[in-house]
Structure 1
Amino acid sequence: MDHALSPAAPKPAHVPDALVYDFDIHADPGLLDDPHVRIMDLLRNAPPVFWTPRNGGGWMVLTHAANYEASRDTEAFSSEFVPQDKMKALLASLPPGAPHIPQPIPITLDPPEHTKYRQPLQKVFSPKTISALRDSIRELAGDLIEAIKPDGRCEFMSAVAEPLPVQVFLKMLGLPLDRLPEYRAIVKEHMEAIDGDREGSMRRLQTIAAAMRDTLLDRRDNPRDDIISMLWKLEIDGQPTTLADMENYGVLLFIAGLDTVMNGMGLAMRGLAVDTDLQRKLRAEPKLIAEAAEEMLRRYTFTVPMRVVKRPVELSGAKMMPGDMVKLFLPAADLDAKEFPQPDVYDLDRENNVHIAFGVGPHRCLGSHLARVELQVLYEEMLARMPEFRLDPDHPPVFHGGHVIGIESMHLVWDV
């Protein structure tokens, strides 16, 4: 993998030198060495909100308070990287018959438009709908774990963390499981190139939509018991769902479902692998697992949402101007000592653990119920079925940075 730092962008005039800190979210050596150790280091040594010249130049928001404030202020911190009027004009200017350019809606919208498109999705991801999936998730987790158990070792990401959420997700959507490797490759390319290459980003979203189109059209004409069929029945603002709407929803769910949870699983399993006391405690008292999963989400938060500044605004003393790019560095927010005493200690008895691993405000993660069920079921099944597991000393974990921080590969060993 190429870990060269991205070229440095020139510093805008409104950014004071005191707020500049050089940090590359894709290639920072410390982040790739051990992400959450490096994040603690940033919290100690970088300004609470700083401007970095890397990845096109932009602001990084570290503290819990600043992330909370920016996440809720959608008027100053917008998710519309291409303003809606521009996007509509662009779509209208396409020649007849040109492929639709899908947008991962509603993540790229601000309220009130955002609300209109998010509302229908709430039904599909309601706790009730998700609870009904728990047994099939458990069965799949059990199968994956039993397959590796006799070997005494595994590369956990490819053996369990990737196939579990991705298969659950493809089944939920009703997409063909045999295309899993192709789908993952598309998403990986999209996530790695998300900073800056907007043209390329649109092309990749078209690739994702194209990979789903047969299934989308088939479910319109032959509905089944899956999410795509459910989405066809919804109305958006009183209007029936169109193929363009379905492609927009599809690319959003595709990117979220095929990348995010697996990184949370990897980070949490590493947390358990290095803490055999915690493993013993949870094996002895499995009812603590739901709480343990929440503290894992706080301790190893992994998503970094993006915003673009829409009007002059000040955040924690940093003056920002329209057009400035902002990364909400949630992994740092959940390690902020002002909010969580001794933040780097994994504490099962932590009082009021109000982490923001799933974000906060109108864009709070829609799939959080699903992610929680998947994470809890995985811990339950790993701890119930596997002997004590630990990191393989000969193959240390390999990490990646980016918009979802996580683990590329992690070798576990256990006694057979």
Structure 2
Amino acid sequence: MTATLSPAVARPAHVPEAAVYDFDMFADPAYVADPHARVLDLLGKAPGVFWTPRNGGHWMLLSHEAIFNAARDVETFSSELMPLDKVEQMQKMMPRHVPLPLPICVDPPAHMKYRGPLNRVFGPKAINDLKDSIRTLAGELVDAIRPQGACDFMSAVAEPLPVQVFLKMLGLPVARMDDYRALVRAHLSDPTPNPMDSVKKLWRIVDTIKDVLEDRRANPQDDIISLLWQLDIDGKPTTMDDMENYCVVLFVAGLDTVMNGMGHGIRHLAQHPELQQELRANPALIGDATEELLRRYTFTVPPRIIGKDTVFAGLEMKRGERAMLFLPAADLDPKAFSHAERFDLKRENKTHIAFNAGPHRCLGSHLARVELQIVYEEMLKRLPLFRLDPAHPPSFHCGHVVGVDTLHLLWNP
């Protein structure tokens, strides 16, 4: 399906013409056709920071230096896309609580108040305890497709693995996976959402999981929802409003992001049989391969709002304007990585920012790394040499997550 470019809007007077580059991060044809090839093209043609007239007009930060600096400057590049005072006003006008995706929608110091309780849930020790169950599920999924000699990797492995893992962590019924995924896709699909439409989508998510939230308050189990009920937030017991806030962000992030990283990584392996052979012969290298695949195919684009009038990278930016931290470009910036377009298993500088930087660095990075490495290990261990199906080329979607829709593979069973 071909995406439709959004209408172009007029350039603001303070934006110099040289800083304008026409790029639609949701529907640019070359980007949707082959996202990271287009990212490399952008790095060669567009300014390191530019303004695009698409999707209402906004800033795009491409260079590694610009993104790294912006990610740590939360006063200028704020995650509070809607000011909290306006949120409070809206809450008073609504017939029910409007869930906020905390902690990603607030900046320090409030950010840590809400992120702190989650750190123990997603810390390295807690995630390491899940490795055996993740590996068991990955093995079952790969063994199920092996006799077929072909599959769409996304629907057969990449979606069910992290989604089932996360649903079990949260304490939500795996049998409703398809319903949950449909809600997440709807939530992420609109490039310039109307605030009321966004609120309605959040309500639909809450309505779908509210019965589980209420049950775990009365009948705690061994899952994240039960644990969150037992925590204090800023010295106060967790409320239902707090639970709704937490669960909408966990729901959306946990049920979508990692599967796309798996798709990009397995696509690369399918295109490079020599790399498959090297990793099969020496599985100890798969950890390094995982990090290099994350750098080479970074796939998230966090939005920010300009918190105050500023001059950044020599450009005048106004309070209230939107800016996108284009992380896929940062990790392919030739000024930050030598021969950045190459996958280099022996690369010395592996310090990518696929999980962002600064206080909003991805809370689930430990889980993502474990899941990615395990799926590569199990695919290479349990399947013979696999390749792309030339009759069914990969398909992608773009936006705040650069995702893989379909990835058809072939192998000799």
Tell whether the structures are fold-level matches, with TM greater than 0.5.
yes
Q: Which moved more, 1:160-169 or 1:186-195?
A: 186-195
**TM-score for the superposition, normalised by structure 1:** 0.98
Matched, 1:377 2:374: yes
Partner of 1:360: 357
User: What's the RMSD between the two structures over aligned residues?
Assistant: 0.9
Deviation at 1:55, TM superposition (A): 1.2
What is the identity, as a one-letter code, of the residue corresponding to 2:42?
A: L
Partner of 1:158: 155
Partner of 1:337: 334
Matched residues in 2 for 1:195 and 1:290: separation?
38
Q: How does 1:5-20 map to 2 (within 5 A)?
A: 5-20=5-20
Partner SS, residue 405 of structure 2:
strand
Matched, 1:184 2:176: no
Partner SS, residue 408 of structure 1:
strand
Matched-pair contact (CA < 8 Å) for 1:193–1:201: no
Matched-pair contact (CA < 8 Å) for 2:7–2:54: yes
Q: How does 1:18-33 map to 2 (within 5 A)?
A: 18-33=18-33
Displaced runs of 4 or more, over 4 A: none
Partner SS, residue 362 of structure 1:
helix
Question: What are structure 2's unaligned runs of at least 5 residues?
Answer: none
Partner of 2:62: 62
Partner of 2:202: 205
Q: How does 1:15-414 map to 2 (within 5 A)?
A: 15-94=15-94, 98-414=95-411
Question: What are structure 1's unaligned runs of at least 5 residues?
Answer: none
Matched-pair contact (CA < 8 Å) for 2:51–2:57: yes
What is the identity, as a one-letter code, of the residue corresponding to 1:153?
A: A
Deviation at 1:15, TM superposition (A): 0.7
Matched residues in 2 for 1:108 and 1:10: separation?
28
Matched-pair contact (CA < 8 Å) for 1:107–1:114: yes
Deviation at 1:56, TM superposition (A): 1.5
Matched residues in 2 for 1:258 and 1:317: separation?
39
**TM-score for the superposition, normalised by structure 2:** 0.99
Partner SS, residue 180 of structure 2:
helix
After superposition, the C-alpha distances for 1:35-85 in whole angstroms (9 at most, x for unaligned) are 111000100100100000111110000000000000000001111111111
Matched residues in 1 for 2:406 and 2:311: separation?
40
Matched residues in 1 for 2:379 and 2:135: separation?
11
Matched-pair contact (CA < 8 Å) for 1:397–1:410: yes
Matched-pair contact (CA < 8 Å) for 2:2–2:29: no
After superposition, the C-alpha distances for 1:252-285 in whole angstroms (9 at most, x for unaligned) are 0001001100000000000100011110010011
Deviation at 1:197, TM superposition (A): 2.4
Matched residues in 2 for 1:176 and 1:196: separation?
29
Deviation at 1:2, TM superposition (A): 4.8
After superposition, the C-alpha distances for 1:107-143 in whole angstroms (9 at most, x for unaligned) are 0001111111011110111111100000100011011
Matched residues in 1 for 2:42 and 2:168: separation?
40
Identity %: 59
Deviation at 1:199, TM superposition (A): 1.8
Deviation at 1:88, TM superposition (A): 1.4
Matched-pair contact (CA < 8 Å) for 1:67–1:330: yes
Matched residues in 2 for 1:22 and 1:317: separation?
20
What is the identity, as a one-letter code, of the residue corresponding to 2:143?
A: E
Between Structure 1 and Structure 2, how many residues are aligned?
413
What is the identity, as a one-letter code, of the residue corresponding to 1:294?
A: E
Residue 404 to residue 316, structure 1, CA distance change in 2 (3 Å): same
Matched-pair contact (CA < 8 Å) for 1:56–1:196: no
Matched residues in 1 for 2:272 and 2:55: separation?
35
